[in-house]
Structure 1
Amino acid sequence: MFEAPAPATVDRMLAAQQHAAAQLGLRATGRRVWGYRGRTLPSAAGPHWLRVVCAEAGTEGGKLWDGPYASHTLPASVPRPDLLHVRDWSAETHAYRAELYAFAPDPIVSPRPALDEDPDLPETWWKEMAAALDVLADVPPPTNREAVREEYLRRVIPEFTGHQVDGVTWTTAHGDLHWANISCGPHILDWEGWGRAPYGYDAATLYMYALPVPETSARTRTELAHILDRPEPAPAC
């Protein structure tokens, strides 16, 4: 998703990836998929998917660090690759976590968050995605995880729309639901930032990333209408 970081970071993360793969009895063979500033390095490893994340020593932990691991407390009916192993270690100035996942059996919908063309997804895909978002929204919002901050909403919504924010219905959301984070299965990927968000946030995000392709944005608007057209606001909780 991002360009390769500085050479020193590349070397350090590749060494961490090789260490993690060796500890798990695997070999990382897939293409490199760099995260922001080289913070993460996922790739295929045999029949699995190996994700390595780093932080400066002493700063590991928190929402992004623990998000993928914590997401596996969510209902199994929210489709995502199974997390098989987690290993933590430290080396010199950095701490690392390796997460080994079952490989999603189907490709991602788009190589980029926003669509360039209509993926022509079948009716079954839309029904399963809508059901997954309904199940996720029914999970009580975690008190220790915020996908969207309320103070941010109350600042930017009036700025860009001219409307004030009244009551907000808070639910549990993925928080970064775009077309590169969903497979054709569908499986929902990349659970770093999941947590508390306004009802409908995931559906609205997916719709916005579909806007470059009118036929897909119209389909998204129709298939997720029961979420996007919810008439209240309900009282804040």
Structure 2
Amino acid sequence: MQSGDVDLRVAPVEHVLDLVEHGLRVRLDTDSVVRKRRSVGARTSRGTWVRIERRSLHRIDGQGWNGVESAAVLTGIAKPEWFAGMAWRETVTDAMWRVDETELVVASPVKAGGRLVVDPGLPDAWWSTLNASLDALAGQDTTRVATPDTVTVTPAVVTESIRATFGDGIDTTLTEWVPAHADLNWANVTGPQCWILDWEDWGLAPRGLDAATLWGNSLAVPDLAERVRRERHADLESRSGRLMALFFCAKVMGRSNDPTDPLVGPARRESVRLVGELRLSR
């Protein structure tokens, strides 16, 4: 965590909840509050959901910080409808707060926190909805650039991450860019009905970023990872998709010092395959 960042799972947020209630003229259900590292969410008295995020100024680029609001123009995607938003600057700490009020989704995240290590047994209808949503998303027009992990995705970012872990022998040229959710993990999709949540980081990204992210977060459950690979075969078998899968593996292998992390071993094994395929396809 960089200087200026705050973990909202443990930081006091009562004063922020008060500001949100006043600004949106709504009451928050404190018993429903969900706290994550970057955001806090809660049900409201008018049957909606409020998502609150704090972001340091150094993590906000020139395109602005209104991903959830701007995603309201996207069509054909299983996502909550956006209703209202507000933002303010916290001058003492050089940070900004962003609040978005959206449709309430009653289905639960497939895995609210931590690593997914058990197959959730999602029905075929779930996969159909996911595929239709990702295909529709890839066909949208936007000038936004995706910010996975709040970092704007660029060819340089991808190249640096891959080379830091796997060396210089891989051509990381990226020629296919399409709109992506950019944080498609099991905490941001619900089941057994498929909804895709948390759109703050969406934008243009290398083809296959979303498929690779969901696949990578499934590696501790081999059958599930294989299902993702089958369902999103066209993306993951493209050169860009292979690079995005290797990009995911590089981040897992580079940041984890915990040998018990269930993704590290599979990521190492998959990276050997991916490096070989990418070198052969040059």
TM-score after normalising by structure 1:
0.80
Residue by residue over 1:13-55, the C-alpha shift from the partner in whole angstroms, topping out at 9 and shown as x without a partner, is: 312212322442323323443343xx53212223221122345
Q: Is the 8 A contact 1:90 1:96 kept in 2?
A: yes
Q: Flag structure 2 segments of 5+ consecutive residues without an equivalent.
A: 1-6, 148-152, 242-282
1:155 Cα deviation after fit: 2.1
Instruction: Please give the alpha-carbon distance, in whole angstroms, between the structure 1 residues aligned to 2:117 and 2:19.
Output: 37
Identity of aligned residues (%): 26
Instruction: Please give the alpha-carbon distance, in whole angstroms, between the structure 2 residues aligned to 1:21 and 1:100.
Output: 11
Residue by residue over 1:202-223, the C-alpha shift from the partner in whole angstroms, topping out at 9 and shown as x without a partner, is: 0011001001011211111112
Rate the CA distance shift 1:181–1:63 in 2: closer, same or farther, 3 A: farther
Rate the CA distance shift 1:231–1:92 in 2: closer, same or farther, 3 A: closer
The reply on whether 1:163 has 2:176 as its aligned counterpart is no
Calculate the aligned-residue CA RMSD, in Å. Answer: 2.9
- Choose which of 195, 200, 215 in structure 2 pairs with 1:192: 200
Instruction: Please give the alpha-carbon distance, in whole angstroms, between the structure 2 residues aligned to 1:175 and 1:53.
Output: 17
Residue by residue over 1:70-117, the C-alpha shift from the partner in whole angstroms, topping out at 9 and shown as x without a partner, is: 111222x11111111213356774654331111113111112263121
Rate the CA distance shift 1:19–1:28 in 2: closer, same or farther, 3 A: farther
Instruction: Please give the alpha-carbon distance, in whole angstroms, between the structure 2 residues aligned to 1:110 and 1:180.
Output: 5
Instruction: Please give the alpha-carbon distance, in whole angstroms, between the structure 2 residues aligned to 1:209 and 1:86.
Output: 30
**Size of the alignment, in residue pairs?**
223
1:42-121 aligned within 5 A = 42-46=41-45, 47-54=47-54, 65-75=65-75, 77-89=76-88, 93=92, 95-112=96-113, 114-121=115-122
Instruction: Please give the alpha-carbon distance, in whole angstroms, between the structure 2 residues aligned to 1:106 and 1:220.
Output: 21
The reply on whether 1:5 has 2:10 as its aligned counterpart is yes
Q: Flag structure 1 segments of 5+ consecutive residues without an equivalent.
A: none
Instruction: Please give the alpha-carbon distance, in whole angstroms, between the structure 2 residues aligned to 1:59 and 1:230.
Output: 30
Instruction: Please give the alpha-carbon distance, in whole angstroms, between the structure 1 residues aligned to 2:16 and 2:210.
Output: 33
Q: Is the 8 A contact 1:43 1:50 kept in 2?
A: yes
Residue by residue over 1:161-193, the C-alpha shift from the partner in whole angstroms, topping out at 9 and shown as x without a partner, is: 441213420111111110011011211111121
1:141 Cα deviation after fit: 4.6
Q: Is the 8 A contact 1:172 1:195 kept in 2?
A: yes
- Choose which of 190, 210, 213 in structure 1 pairs with 2:218: 210
Aligned to 1:138: 139
Structure 2 SS opposite 1:179: coil
Q: Is the 8 A contact 1:64 1:192 kept in 2?
A: no
Rate the CA distance shift 1:62–1:30 in 2: closer, same or farther, 3 A: farther
Q: Is the 8 A contact 1:71 1:191 kept in 2?
A: yes
Rate the CA distance shift 1:206–1:180 in 2: closer, same or farther, 3 A: same
1:136 Cα deviation after fit: 1.0
Letter in 2 for 1:139: Q
Deviates more, 1:220-229 or 1:19-28: 19-28
Aligned to 1:154: 159
Larger relative contact order (Cα-Cα within 8 Å, sequence gap ≥ 6): 1
Aligned structure 1 segments of 4 or more residues deviating by more than 6 angstroms: 56-61
Letter in 2 for 1:110: K
Letter in 1 for 2:80: P
